[in-house]
Amino acid sequence: MRTMTPTTAARPPTPARSDPVLVYDGDCGFCTTAVAFAERHLRPRCRVTAWQFADLAALGITEQRSEYEVLWVTPTGTVYGGAQAVARLLLRTGGPWAVVGAVLTLPPVRWLAHGTYRLIARNRHRMPGGTPACALPSNNRPAPPS
């Protein structure tokens, strides 16, 4: 006697990512400046995208978290935020920056890095490249000039 197993509608497989993804706030001048610096000088082996243009659901992250901190999403879906995202970025650059990234993952440096990151994030509108719009939630930010 044959047993029938229920079938479900087949979903197309999600393409696997081979590189991690760095997700940042593309509306923030400070964040954009920092990411441009990293891409130009550190050349991390990752995909870089502003959360405003990313498929957040596919990455397993929320808009709320994306507005709060920079995120590093591994190919397997592990998400690191804030200072630990920066540490992962530095680890992917290789060379001396990878050593800095490794140190940022170790206690008590990790704890200090977290506090420093939060201080900078809260004041990013005051940082070089920052604008008053950086301090506002996205729904209160002025529309960019056309």
Residue with tokens 């190919």: 75
End-to-end CA distance of the chain: 69
Please give the Cα distance from 134 to 31 (Å, whole number).
Answer: 9
pTM of the entire predicted model = 0.79
Residue 3 scores a pLDDT above 50: no
Question: How far, in Å, CA of 2 to CA of 36, rounded?
Answer: 61
The amino acid at residue 50 is A
Q: Which residue has the higher pLDDT, 123 or 100?
A: 100
Q: Report strand pairing: 21-24 vs 71-73.
A: antiparallel
Q: Which residue has the tokens 């690191």?
A: 80
Average pLDDT, the chain: 84
- Tokens 């004041």 appear where? 123
Q: Most distant CA pair in the chain: distance in Å? A: 73
4-62 tens-digit pLDDT: 433 334 433 344 668 999 999 998 888 999 999 999 999 999 999 999 999 999 999 99
Name the DSSP class of 117: H
Whole-number Å distance between alpha carbons of 136 and 54: 20
Domain residue ranges in the chain: 21-139
- Report yes or no: 23 and 54 within 8 Å, Cβ to Cβ: yes
